[in-house]
Amino acid sequence: QRIGELSMPCIVKRHPHRITNEETHTHYLDFKIQNELIHLLASAIRYEIVKKIKSAKYFSFILDCTPDASYQEQMSIIIRYVDSSSSHVCIEESFLGFLDVNDTTGQGLFEVLENELKLLDLDIVDVRGQGYDNGSNMKGNQQGVQRRLLNVNPRAFYSACGCHSLNLTLCDMAKTCGKAKDFFGIIQRIYTTFANSTKKWQILKNNITGLTPKSVSATRWESRVDSVKAIRLQSEDIREALLQVSETDNDTKTSSEAKSLANNELGEHEIIVAIVIWYEVLYAVNLVSKHLQAKDMLIDVAIEKVQGLLSFFKGYRDTGFL
């Protein structure tokens, strides 16, 4: 009767108070119950998403695989569809979860996808688009997921991930230049020097007022603009921080490394010019990359952006140093 007199928000608010004051020992906050609540919420959200997809009838999907912390290969699935549930009709992309994968061949990945669509009660013949990265098990014309799906549904148009293709192009371009590899090695060494201890990081923060250096990404080359930007805009401040580290650090190796970076690397004309060049190049690439990743991206706009990037490279090669 007492519960009936209270509103639900009031009950929820009083519950932690009663547990803290040991007024009740049955708190229903065990990790099993928390997981069950999360599972129920996930099921309800998934049900609403699937209902929208069925209402749209036709859909496309995006797949990507990566190992988790326990080295279990997992495949993420995102479904793209037209949401007409409200007066404002729009294109939606909905993440539906991670799928455990034990067989990473094209056949194995396709079977995991096929089983998941059956569990979601979605018809594979209603698929109108599929998109993956450039892995052969995904995009392979003979044994990849795209070919196996096209064998079942010829209307499932395949499109490679434009952002991933752009990233691979930039990666291959940089790998052909030894000086580019040396340059990003220096950028990483600067970050590592400060990130090795909280004391050195504090010295860095005392000398800069804006962006902090970032670790160089091993895979997403366009994101390296963040690593270069902090040094491009604050090179003098970072150089001063390195000199302070060299003077105050008791470790001779760290002190010598910081002094070398300040005087030899950041003190050289070639490195300073490289910082300017790479920042402008990565900034232009990053802008296009963001456009390609937008969920409302249009194919004609994407083509225009990529062509514009090609024109930028041609123009920069001819007049960028004038």
**pTM over the 0.85 mark:** no
Q: pLDDT tens digits for 238-270?
A: 999 999 999 988 888 889 999 999 988 888 888
Q: Which stretch of DSSP H or E encloses residue 227?
A: helix 225-233
Q: What is the DSSP string of 273-307?
A: HHHHHHHHHHHHHHHHHHHHH-TT--HHHHHHHHH
Length of the chain: 322
Q: Rounded distance, CA 305 to CA 314, Å? A: 14
- 231, 265 in Cβ contact below 8 A? no
CA-wise closest residue to 73 among 65, 81, 62: 65
Q: pLDDT tens digits for 119-163?
A: 999 999 999 999 887 778 888 888 888 899 999 999 999 887 777
Residue 79 burial (C-beta neighbours within 10 Å; 0-12, 13-18, 19+): buried
Domain architecture of the chain: domains with CATH = 51-160 (3.30.420), 165-319 (no CATH)
Which of the 8 DSSP states describes residue 264? I
Q: In a 3-state reduction of DSSP, which class is residue 208? A: coil
Q: Rounded distance, CA 106 to CA 79, Å? A: 19
Calculate the average pLDDT of the chain: 86
